[in-house]
Amino acid sequence: MSDVLNEMRVLLPSQSVNEAVARRVVTAFAMQTDPTACELADIKTAVSEAVTNSIVHGYRGTKGNIEIIMRILEGDIFYIRVKDRGCGIKDVKKAMEPLYTTASEEERAGLGFAVMESFMDSVSVRSTVGKGTCVTMKKRILSRSLVRAGAAEDERH
């Protein structure tokens, strides 16, 4: 496993307002990797989908905590884990299929996992019915290495 260069853990109760709080906290932590606006937007969107899922599906009709662990890994990799102790998912493979939703009456599009997968480099989901769900995502932040490569290039000229 890559070395952990920095880490932050946050525990938020499952109020809907905390989706926005999570996005802001993640932004504050991710800034140290010097992401482009686009990379940051991707991370924020993916995190927002995972946290929203914990609130609306995991803790449907109940309340609980959402634990968010963020890490900066060696190699400019942003790592995030969103964990709830909610109802869990019976069939993770099916849940991750685009357009699959168990909340169509609420006009949910069933695209949350698809969004996470397209905006992050990797997404893995572990879930146990009655115990909860844990979504782990990683994204390589390219801008910094590009800037460094560019600077080295400039020095040569």
Ligand X SMILES: Nc1ncnc2c1ncn2[C@@H]1O[C@H](COP(=O)(O)OP(=O)(O)O)[C@@H](O)[C@H]1O
Q: Mask 99-118, x = binds ligand X (CB under 6 A)?
A: -xxxx----xxxxxx-----
User: How far, in Å, CA of 23 to CA of 138, rounded?
Assistant: 16
Task: Determine contact, residues 48/22, Cβ cutoff 8 Å.
Answer: yes
Q: Is 86 in the site for Mg ion (CB under 5 A)?
A: no
Which of Mg ion, ligand X, none is residue 95 near (CB under 5 to 8 Å by kind)?
A: ligand X
Active-site residue, selected from the candidate residues 23, 67, 108, 126: 108
Q: Is 95 in the site for ligand X (CB under 6 A)?
A: yes
Give Rg (Cα) of the chain.
17
Closer residue to ligand X in complex, CB, 114/142: 114
User: How far, in Å, CA of 82 to CA of 69, rounded?
Assistant: 7
> Minimal distance in Å, beta carbon 129 to ligand X?
9
- SS3 of 44-87: the string is HHHHHHHHHHHHHHHCCCCCCEEEEEEEEECCCEEEEEEEECCC
Catalytic residue IDs: 49, 53, 108
Residues that bind ligand X (CB under 6 A): 49, 53-54, 57-58, 84, 86-89, 95, 100-103, 108-113, 133
